Structure 1
Amino acid sequence: MISLKIVKHFPVLSIGNTLYTAGSLNFLGTRMAFQKHAQNLIKNEDGFIWFFEPTIISMHMAEINKSSENNEDDNMFLFLIENGIEEPRNLRLSRVARVCKSDVGGMRMLRRKWTSFLKVRLDCPFGDIGSPSLVQDVFLLRDENNLMNSVFYATFILNPEPSSTCSQSAVCAYKLSDIRQVFRGNFMTETAYGTWVRFMGALPSPYPRSCINDEMRASGVKTSYDLPDSTLQFLKNHPLMEGAVTPLTGKPLLVRSMAQFSKIVVDKVTSLDGEQHNVMFISNNSGWLQKAVWSGDDGGRIIEELQLFQDPQPIRFLQLSRRGQLYSATRTAVAQLSVRDCSRYTSCADCLIARDPYCGWDHLKGLCAAVAGASNFSMIQNLIDGDATMCPSSHLSKQITDIHLTADVAQFLPCSPDTNLPMRWRFSGKILEPGPRHILLSQGLVLTPSFTDEGLYTCETVEVVKGREHKKAVIQYNVKVSEGGVNWLQAIVISFLAVFCVLCVMLIISVCWKKKSRNRVGTTSVSYDSTEQPEWKTESCSCESDPDTKKTIPNGVEKKKKSTV
Structure 2
Amino acid sequence: MFFLYFLSEVMMKSQVALFYVLIIMNEGSAQSLKPRRSVFFSDVNLKLFKEPDFNGLSSLLVREDIGLLFVGARGKVITLSLDDITVKTSEVNWTVTSKEKALCKVKGKSIEECDNYIRMMHTLDDGRILVCGTKAFNPTCTHLMFEEGNVTMEDSFQNGRGKVPFDPNENFASMVNGNTLYTAGSINFLGTVKSFQRHGRNTLRTEPIWSWLNGPNMISMKFAEISKHSNNNEDDNVFLFLTEIKIEAQRSNLRLSRVARVCKSDLGGLRILQKKWTSFLKARLDCPFGDEGSASLVQDVFFLQDENNVTDSIFYATFTLSTEPSSTCSQSAVCAYKLSDIQQVFRGNFMTFTDSGSWVRYTGTVFSPYPGSCINDEMRTSGVRTSRDLPDSTLLFVKNHPLMEQVVTPITGKPLLVRSTAQFSKIVVDKVTSLDGEQHNVMFISNNSGWLQKAVWSGDDGGRIIEDLQLFQDPQPIRFLQLSRRGQLYSATRTAVAQLSVRDCSRYTSCADCLIARDPYCGWDHLKGLCAAVAGASNFSMIQNLIDGDAIMCPSSHSVSMQITDIHLTADVAQFLPCFPDANLPISWSFSGKILEPGPRHILLSQGLVLTPSFTDEGIYTCETVEVVKGREHKKAVIQYQVKIGRQGGRYFSTHLFTYSLIIVSFGALGVIHMYKHWTQKSPNHVRCGQCGSDPCTNRAIASRGLERAKSTVENRFVVK
Rounded to whole Å, the distance in 1 between the matches of 2:224 and 2:438 is 26
User: What is aligned with 2:592?
Assistant: 428
Distance 1:404 1:89, change over 3 A: same
Question: In the TM superposition, what are the counterparts of 1:52-131 in structure 2 within 5 Å?
Answer: 52-90=214-252, 91-131=254-294
Rounded to whole Å, the distance in 2 between the matches of 1:395 and 1:303 is 28
User: What is aligned with 2:363?
Assistant: 200
RMSD in angstroms over aligned alpha carbons?
2.9
Distance 1:478 1:293, change over 3 A: same
Rounded to whole Å, the distance in 1 between the matches of 2:219 and 2:177 is 18
Q: Whose relative contact order is higher, 1 or 2, with alpha carbons under 8 Å and at least 6 apart?
A: 2
Q: Deviations over 1:258-282 (max 9, x none)?
A: 3311111111111122111111111
Task: Decide whether the 8 Å contact of 1:463 with 1:469 is kept in 2.
Answer: yes
Task: Decide whether the 8 Å contact of 2:280 with 2:372 is kept in 1.
Answer: no
Task: Decide whether the 8 Å contact of 1:151 with 1:173 is kept in 2.
Answer: yes
Equivalent of residue 137 in structure 1, options 284, 290, 300: 300
User: What is aligned with 2:717?
Assistant: none
Secondary structure (helix, strand or coil) at the match of 2:616 reads helix
Question: In the TM superposition, what are the counterparts of 1:255-334 in structure 2 within 5 Å?
Answer: 255-334=418-497
The aligned amino acid for 1:469 is E
Secondary structure (helix, strand or coil) at the match of 1:177 reads helix
Question: In the TM superposition, what are the counterparts of 1:436-475 in structure 2 within 5 Å?
Answer: 451-475=615-639
Q: Is it true that 1:239 corresponds to 2:402 in the alignment?
A: yes
Identity %: 77
Secondary structure (helix, strand or coil) at the match of 1:234 reads helix
Distance 1:173 1:89, change over 3 A: farther
Task: Decide whether the 8 Å contact of 1:166 with 1:258 is kept in 2.
Answer: no
The number of aligned residues is 487
Rounded to whole Å, the distance in 1 between the matches of 2:558 and 2:237 is 53
Task: Decide whether the 8 Å contact of 1:456 with 1:478 is kept in 2.
Answer: yes
TM-score, structure 2 length as denominator?
0.63
Rounded to whole Å, the distance in 1 between the matches of 2:273 and 2:504 is 53
Rounded to whole Å, the distance in 2 between the matches of 1:26 and 1:398 is 71
Rounded to whole Å, the distance in 2 between the matches of 1:410 and 1:207 is 75
Q: Is it true that 1:46 corresponds to 2:213 in the alignment?
A: no
Secondary structure (helix, strand or coil) at the match of 2:405 reads strand
User: What is aligned with 2:343?
Assistant: 180
Rounded to whole Å, the distance in 2 between the matches of 1:426 and 1:11 is 56
User: What is aligned with 1:13?
Assistant: 175
Rounded to whole Å, the distance in 2 between the matches of 1:76 and 1:428 is 66
User: What is aligned with 2:386?
Assistant: 223
Rounded to whole Å, the distance in 2 between the matches of 1:443 and 1:395 is 29
Task: Decide whether the 8 Å contact of 2:323 with 2:329 is kept in 1.
Answer: no
Task: Decide whether the 8 Å contact of 1:11 with 1:21 is kept in 2.
Answer: yes
Rounded to whole Å, the distance in 1 between the matches of 2:416 and 2:228 is 29
Distance 1:458 1:93, change over 3 A: same
Q: Deviations over 1:272-311 (max 9, x none)?
A: 2211111111111111111111111111111111111122
The aligned amino acid for 1:424 is S
Distance 1:389 1:458, change over 3 A: farther
Question: In the TM superposition, what are the counterparts of 1:454-533 in structure 2 within 5 Å?
Answer: 454-479=618-643
Rounded to whole Å, the distance in 2 between the matches of 1:477 and 1:180 is 62
Rounded to whole Å, the distance in 2 between the matches of 1:423 and 1:158 is 32
User: What is aligned with 1:503?
Assistant: none
Q: Is it true that 1:23 corresponds to 2:159 in the alignment?
A: no
Distance 1:41 1:396, change over 3 A: farther
Task: Decide whether the 8 Å contact of 1:24 with 1:33 is kept in 2.
Answer: yes
Rounded to whole Å, the distance in 1 between the matches of 2:596 and 2:277 is 68
Distance 1:187 1:99, change over 3 A: same
Task: Decide whether the 8 Å contact of 1:407 with 1:451 is kept in 2.
Answer: no
Q: Is it true that 1:354 corresponds to 2:510 in the alignment?
A: no
Deviation at 1:359, TM superposition (A): 1.0
Secondary structure (helix, strand or coil) at the match of 2:301 reads strand
The aligned amino acid for 1:77 is F
Task: Decide whether the 8 Å contact of 1:400 with 1:478 is kept in 2.
Answer: no
Q: Is it true that 1:417 corresponds to 2:581 in the alignment?
A: yes
Rounded to whole Å, the distance in 2 between the matches of 1:143 and 1:62 is 10
Task: Decide whether the 8 Å contact of 2:478 with 2:491 is kept in 1.
Answer: yes
User: What is aligned with 1:399?
Assistant: 562
Residue ranges of structure 1 left out of the alignment (5+ in a row): 488-565
Deviation at 1:27, TM superposition (A): 2.2
Q: Is it true that 1:37 corresponds to 2:218 in the alignment?
A: no
Rounded to whole Å, the distance in 2 between the matches of 1:300 and 1:396 is 33
Distance 1:444 1:204, change over 3 A: closer
Q: Deviations over 1:310-357 (max 9, x none)?
A: 221111101111111111111112111111111111222221221111
Rounded to whole Å, the distance in 2 between the matches of 1:236 and 1:167 is 37
Q: Deviations over 1:465-495 (max 9, x none)?
A: 23332211122334566889978xxxxxxxx
User: What is aligned with 2:504?
Assistant: 341
Question: In the TM superposition, what are the counterparts of 1:365-404 in structure 2 within 5 Å?
Answer: 365-394=528-557, 398-401=561-564, 403=566
The aligned amino acid for 1:459 is C
Rounded to whole Å, the distance in 1 between the matches of 2:250 and 2:561 is 64
Rounded to whole Å, the distance in 1 between the matches of 2:498 and 2:471 is 7
Deviation at 1:195, TM superposition (A): 1.0
Task: Decide whether the 8 Å contact of 2:332 with 2:422 is kept in 1.
Answer: yes
Rounded to whole Å, the distance in 1 between the matches of 2:559 and 2:224 is 49
Task: Decide whether the 8 Å contact of 1:405 with 1:411 is kept in 2.
Answer: no
Q: Is it true that 1:166 corresponds to 2:333 in the alignment?
A: no
Task: Decide whether the 8 Å contact of 1:397 with 1:473 is kept in 2.
Answer: no
Task: Decide whether the 8 Å contact of 1:10 with 1:21 is kept in 2.
Answer: yes
Task: Decide whether the 8 Å contact of 1:406 with 1:484 is kept in 2.
Answer: no
Q: Is it true that 1:252 corresponds to 2:415 in the alignment?
A: yes
Rounded to whole Å, the distance in 2 between the matches of 1:444 and 1:114 is 63
Distance 1:199 1:413, change over 3 A: closer
Equivalent of residue 155 in structure 1, options 311, 318, 332: 318
The aligned amino acid for 1:21 is T
The aligned amino acid for 1:367 is L
Instruction: Between 360-369 and 412-421, report the one with greater CA deviation.
Output: 412-421
Rounded to whole Å, the distance in 2 between the matches of 1:302 and 1:117 is 37
Task: Decide whether the 8 Å contact of 1:349 with 1:396 is kept in 2.
Answer: no
Q: Deviations over 1:443-472 (max 9, x none)?
A: 655667555333332222222223332211
Secondary structure (helix, strand or coil) at the match of 1:166 reads coil
